[in-house]
Amino acid sequence: MLTSVFIAAVSLALFWMAAFTLWWQMHAWRTPEVLASTRFGRPDGGEHLSFSLLLPARHEQAVLDHTVRRLLESTHTDFEIVVIVGHDDPDTTVVAERAAARDPRVRVVVDTHEKKNKPKAMNTALPHCRGDVVGVFDAEDQVHPELLAHVDHAFRTTDADVVQGGVQLINFHSSWYSLRNCLEYFFWFRSRLHLHAQKGFIPLGGNTVFVRTAVLRDAGGWDPDCLAEDCDLGVRLSSVGRKVVVAYDSDMVTREETPGTLMSLLKQRTRWNQGFLQVYRKKDWKQLPSLRQRLLARYTLMTPFLQAFSGVVIPLNAAVALFLDVPVGVAFLTFLPLVTAAVTFVFEVVGLHDFGRQYGLRVSFAHYAKLIVGGPLYQVLLAGAAIRAVWREQRGRNDWELTRHVGAHLAEPIREDLPA
């Protein structure tokens, strides 16, 4: 009897968790109108804002030059690029200085912090920004030339304080986990983030994010001690009622690459999870006005840990139902989380198809198979990263485990798209 009650309770909890996550994940496709509203409005030709684009670069000499050149191709007429390099990183500094010598719109700021991380670097550059709006990109980003014009238009027409553009991992063919990683980004930026913007609680992304300079200075810049400074900034800004607008256009997204190895993905995910945990513990989200928003915040920031939990419990629960002697009704309940998992899988398959369509990429049957087979494995990876994050946070280890970039998303430099 007690077993039955326990199993039923766990199953129902898991079911609702998965159902909510699914509901949010599918936000953008709820109706054609919602989908249309997630795109950028078409620019009207007027350009009134000036941009300061921050480009923190650490040991990125391989890709930095390409990124800067591409940024300089922007159609917008009024922007500067602030490359932030470390005083202990001569290779990247050389590349940055060369770019600055080539074009007056590029400037170099040197970060002299002893222990370096991305928020400290950006805070170093913040006082040097001359633009009305500060934008953040990563050194390996491929930015669309018309993005700034669209962002300019979005700021002016919506009166936003923050505009978050889409970021998309592209190299889905590199490995089984990069496939899933790409799709995760797709669902996050294409869909889920819009829901957060609408609900008034949003963890911002790490790049292609634009904040009015005054607002950013008001907020005191980024939190130098937080491992997910982007998420933290979003939470702090939306918690005090700043207006955030999200827009996603497949030809306007910033293209990135997945971490090159499974281990670096694990490290990256550990860092994010730990960052989410830190943001949760900072309690800025408690200033949100409504209970629903606070619940959404609580749930979102705890997601990695719920994920870890459910990844372990779902199979266990089903096994219990099959092998232990429980009433048929209770056994039925244990299948509910599997039902939502199945629905999620199906939507992921359709999402992969849509992703291929939107980016003109050929998705073969093998990729769909990999997506399905890789699902449970990826879940294990996520669970591992979540557990690792809790453990590190408990031990007080919050140093920055950096992700290395090889340029797999770029068309020319280094190709990694051989069949994995």
Please state whether 122 falls in left (phi above 0), alpha (psi between -120 and 50) or beta.
alpha
In angstroms, give the least distance from the CB of 22 to another protein.
10
C-alpha span between 409 and 390 (Å, rounded): 31
- Which of 176, 131, 179 lies closest to 155, judged by CA? 131
Question: CB count, 10 Å around CB of 185?
Answer: 21
Shortest distance (Å) from residue 67 CB to another protein: 26
Nearer to another protein, 349 or 390 (CB): 349
Q: How far is the CB of 42 from another protein (least distance, A)?
A: 6
- In angstroms, give the least distance from the CB of 39 to another protein: 4
Of the pair 130, 286, the CB lying nearest another protein is at 286
Our CA angle for 141, 142, 148, nearest 5°, is 100
Q: What's the CA gap between 23 and 344, in Å, rounded?
A: 10
* Minimum CB distance to another protein smaller for 319 or for 339: 339
Shortest approach of another protein to residue 359 CB, angstroms? 16
Least distance CB 390 / another protein (angstroms): 30
Residue of 6, 13, 5, 50 lying closest to 336 (CA atoms):
13
Neighbours of 220 (CB within 10 A): 11
Of 51 and 355, nearer to another protein (C-beta) is: 355
Which one, 108 or 252, has the nearer CB to another protein? 252
Token couple for 266: 């694990």
20: CB partners within 8 A, 6+ apart: 299
CB-nearer residue toward another protein: 350 or 420: 350
The residue ranges that bind another protein (CB under 8 A) are 23, 26, 29-42, 154, 156-159, 194, 196-202, 238, 241-247, 321, 328, 331-332, 335, 339, 342-343, 346-347, 349-350, 353-354
CA 124 to chain CA mean position, Å: 23
